[in-house]
Copies of this chain bind each other. A is one copy, B any other.
Amino acid sequence: MNLKIAVLPGDGIGPEVILQAKKALYAIGEVYNHEFVFEEALMGAVAIDKTGTPLPEQTLNLCLNTDAVLLGAIGDPKYDNNPNAKVRPEQGLLKLRKELGLFANIRPIKPYKALIEASPLKREIIEGADFTIFRELTGGAYFGAKTLNEEGTHASDLCEYSEEEITRIAHLAFKSAQKRRKKLTMVDKANVLETSRLWRKVVQKVSENYPDVKLDFLFVDNAAMQLILNPKQFDVILTENLFGDILSDEASVITGSIGLLPSVSLGEKNALFEPIHGSYPQAKGKNIANPIASILAAALLLEHFGLTKEANVIYKAVEKAIEYKVVTVDLKPDSKFGTNEVGEFVSNFI
């Protein structure tokens, strides 16, 4: 297979972890006779520094015209604590999601056997947990109108949703549930928010097409609690953009480290693969960042194009790395292995 992949290493640890993902893909290409062509482009703070804008036209065009996008991480603290910054790295990511129409972000959560002890949760709580979060990615408060009055004393964010936006991701989530344990939990705040009530209504309607899937509802405050009290109750979780952002980071604790979790963002035509962690600027250049999430993002990419066998080799390699404790310090505080060594192990295994 020939694939053209846009690579956006981004900020902080992005470049170092993405390098390991590329190494894994190269190795797969060699062994299984595929041609993966990578084209790198700028996005995030690094793009602001070099071009003044977080998503240069060129980057967007590249992403629109490749088979898939592989993203590192974006974000830089110099913008975070400056409420007056006019340009921000995150704007690049949000614009990219919107322009590529990546409406569904999918995050699978399942602890590794060898890492059960790395979680802050007790073994009996997490052992056997296995669920997927479907987060709507191009709507809600992320994209609604924002205001700040002239005096800078009053601000607003508008959260908006349409039936169409809800319907398309709901279908994806129900289809996924059909292939899994046939349970879908919709998370919202329908006792307070009008958008949540629309979500409930639309999801109920969509559910009529999937009579074999059991649908239930949880308020987001309760869901944030249930994820920790009893994560095994979940199969597919469906929720809006901001709730999905919060709950999926929270759910990462089940696996022991956010450094293990990849996600895929899907649109009608495009797909983007990334680790769910951020740019972790404190670790930049120190060879301590966990590359596994990025490597697994590459595996999701392979799966997406039907290269299941190849993806499974990566999963296997990652499992072995974990089993042999070739992992970074987030998983083993006294580990002598770094980003590079973990990446090497995985690509050598392939």
| A142 contacts across to B, CB distance below 8 A | 192
User: At the interface, yes or no: A52 with Cβ under 8 Å from chain B?
Assistant: no
User: At the interface, yes or no: A308 with Cβ under 8 Å from chain B?
Assistant: no
**Chain B residue nearest to A222 in the complex (CB):** B249
Number of copies: 2
* Minimal beta-carbon separation of A141 from chain B (angstroms): 6
For chain A, the count of residues having a C-beta within 8 Å of the partner chain is 68
User: At the interface, yes or no: A309 with Cβ under 8 Å from chain B?
Assistant: no
A212-226 vs B: 1/0 string, CB under 8 Å?
Answer: 000001011110110
Q: How far is the CA of A156 from the CA of B158 in the complex (A)?
A: 7
Give residues 171-207 of A contacting B (CB, 8 Å). 189-195, 197-198, 200-201, 204
User: At the interface, yes or no: A163 with Cβ under 8 Å from chain B?
Assistant: yes
User: At the interface, yes or no: A121 with Cβ under 8 Å from chain B?
Assistant: yes
Knowing A122-B122, A163-B154 are in contact, say whether A224-B246 is a contact too (CB < 8 A): yes
* Minimal beta-carbon separation of A316 from chain B (angstroms): 28
User: At the interface, yes or no: A323 with Cβ under 8 Å from chain B?
Assistant: no
> Do residues B148 and A198 form an inter-chain contact, with CB atoms below 8 A?
yes
Of A34-42, A73-81, A263-271, A281-289, the one with at least 4 CB within 8 A of chain B? A73-81
> Do residues B221 and A246 form an inter-chain contact, with CB atoms below 8 A?
yes
**Chain B residue nearest to A190 in the complex (CB):** B80
Knowing A155-B198, A159-B157 are in contact, say whether A228-B90 is a contact too (CB < 8 A): no
Q: How far is the CA of A159 from the CA of B15 in the complex (A)?
A: 36
| A114 contacts across to B, CB distance below 8 A | none
User: At the interface, yes or no: A315 with Cβ under 8 Å from chain B?
Assistant: no
* Minimal beta-carbon separation of A332 from chain B (angstroms): 16
Of A61-69, A98-106, A250-258, A294-302, the one with at least 4 CB within 8 A of chain B? A250-258
Q: How far is the CA of A160 from the CA of B222 in the complex (A)?
A: 24
| A90 contacts across to B, CB distance below 8 A | 191-192
* Minimal beta-carbon separation of A254 from chain B (angstroms): 9
| A75 contacts across to B, CB distance below 8 A | 191
| A250 in complex: contacting residue of B141, B189, B225, CB < 8 Å | B225
A141, A153, A252, A253: most-surrounded residue (chain B CB, <10 A): A141
User: At the interface, yes or no: A306 with Cβ under 8 Å from chain B?
Assistant: no
> Do residues B81 and A200 form an inter-chain contact, with CB atoms below 8 A?
yes
> Do residues B224 and A249 form an inter-chain contact, with CB atoms below 8 A?
yes
User: At the interface, yes or no: A344 with Cβ under 8 Å from chain B?
Assistant: no
User: At the interface, yes or no: A162 with Cβ under 8 Å from chain B?
Assistant: yes
A92-123 vs B: 1/0 string, CB under 8 Å?
Answer: 00100000000000000000000000001110
| A224 in complex: contacting residue of B153, B162, B247, CB < 8 Å | B247
User: At the interface, yes or no: A242 with Cβ under 8 Å from chain B?
Assistant: yes
User: At the interface, yes or no: A83 with Cβ under 8 Å from chain B?
Assistant: yes
> Do residues B194 and A148 form an inter-chain contact, with CB atoms below 8 A?
yes
Q: How far is the CA of A219 from the CA of B245 in the complex (A)?
A: 10
Q: How far is the CA of A155 from the CA of B230 in the complex (A)?
A: 32
- The 6 A-B pairs with the shortest beta carbon distances in the complex, nearest first, are A224-B250, A155-B198, A146-B194, A221-B249, A83-B197, A153-B163
Extra A-B contacts (13), CB below 8 Å, given A120-B230, A156-B160, A225-B250? A83-B201, A83-B204, A84-B201, A120-B228, A141-B159, A146-B193, A155-B160, A157-B159, A157-B195, A221-B246, A228-B228, A228-B253, A229-B253
A to B CB contacts below 8 Å, 5 in the list = A81-B204, A84-B201, A122-B122, A141-B193, A154-B162
